[in-house]
Amino acid sequence: MEGDRGEVLLQAAVQECGTEQDHNSNSNQEQKKDPCAETTAHADFSDPIYKEISLANGAINRMNREELRAKCAELKLDTRGVKDVLKKRLKSYYKKQKLKQSASLGADDSYYDYICVVDFEATCEESNPRNFVHEIIEFPMVLIDTHTLEIVDSFQEYVKPKLNPQLSDFCVELTGITQKMVDEADPFPSVFRRVVAWLQEKELGTKYKYTLLTDGSWDMSKFLYTQCRQSRMRYPPFARNWINIRKSYGNYYKVARTQTKLNCMLENLGMKYEGRPHCGLDDSRNIARVAIRMLKDGCRLRVNERLHEGMLQNVSSTAVLEGAPPPQYPKSRD
């Protein structure tokens, strides 16, 4: 019965829109004779298809959680997640279907070919002194194919810290990274050369468009920036822009900032953390799972933060979409 009511709501919305479309059919036919006029119509949302989408959205807003789950099941969509996530999933599905029918789907629907998830682990103390310098001790990367919506490869290396070579007991317990692991690891510059080589092997920035994605701002604006200065390296141009998934998640699903921590995002999407928390590679895999779920739900993940002259800045959602440049090992600061 719950699913039947949801179907009635959506059918009523479509029928209401159909009546209005018939009323406006003559003016629409005249407008379609001019390609420029048609483009303008799509840009200012005057195309009747947007009215149909709006009415369908209204019907979805009136559904309860069980109705939403029943409709998702009927459409063979993921039924996991809280009510707001299910609403967004259904709205995105109907919007995409309607825009496909009218050939109005945006050209940047899957702009990036690959998204590279990064989540560093760094040296730390239980109560970090005011001037404590965090050094990267794990460099993980997880590569998402945005066309297949799958994790296709990963990279992980541990890094030997220089300023504080002895890990604190707190750091070992938190990250699971032992003193032996970092003692046997290479310094950051050597590890970073292999990171660049790994990215180059994937032909990122040359054959394929890509960007980086992080869980928050700190990985790039704090950890990588500080590490490059400590290692006397210039900050790499390919890491100057990235997707902060917390911002993307909060904006897309319309949730409070407090609901954008990794475990909260996973829980609200109906998923559980897999692996060991604060293992950089496991964190990156779970962040990638959130990103893939968002892409499946219709979110167009795009760069929303950047580092400019050492300062963290927001990137407007209206900025021109650009992929990261080809990865290159940065020049020395000396």
Q: Which of 52, 121, 135, 138 is catalytic?
A: 121
Alpha helices in the chain (DSSP H): 2-23, 25-32, 35-43, 48-61, 65-74, 83-101, 169-175, 179-183, 188-201, 218, 225-230, 245-253, 262-268, 280-296
Q: Is 134 a catalytic residue?
A: no
In the block, residue with structure tokens 């692991």: 181
In the block, residue with structure tokens 């032992």: 178
Measured CA to CA, the distance from residue 325 to residue 276 in angstroms comes to 32
Measured CA to CA, the distance from residue 4 to residue 1 in angstroms comes to 5
Closest CA to 45 of 111, 102, 88, 108: 102
Measured CA to CA, the distance from residue 171 to residue 187 in angstroms comes to 18
Is 106 strand, coil or helix? Answer: coil
Q: Mutual orientation of helices 2-23 and 65-74 as an angle, nearest 10°?
A: 80
Closest CA to 249 of 281, 287, 278: 287
Alpha helices in 24-163 (DSSP H): 25-32, 35-43, 48-61, 65-74, 83-101
Q: Which of 7, 42, 66, 278 is catalytic?
A: 278
Measured CA to CA, the distance from residue 278 to residue 307 in angstroms comes to 24
Q: Rounded to 5 degrees, what angle do the CA atoms 232, 214, 190 make?
A: 30
Q: Is 23 a catalytic residue?
A: no
Q: N- to C-terminal Cα distance for the chain?
A: 71
Closest CA to 149 of 274, 283, 301: 301
Residues carrying an active site annotation: 121, 278
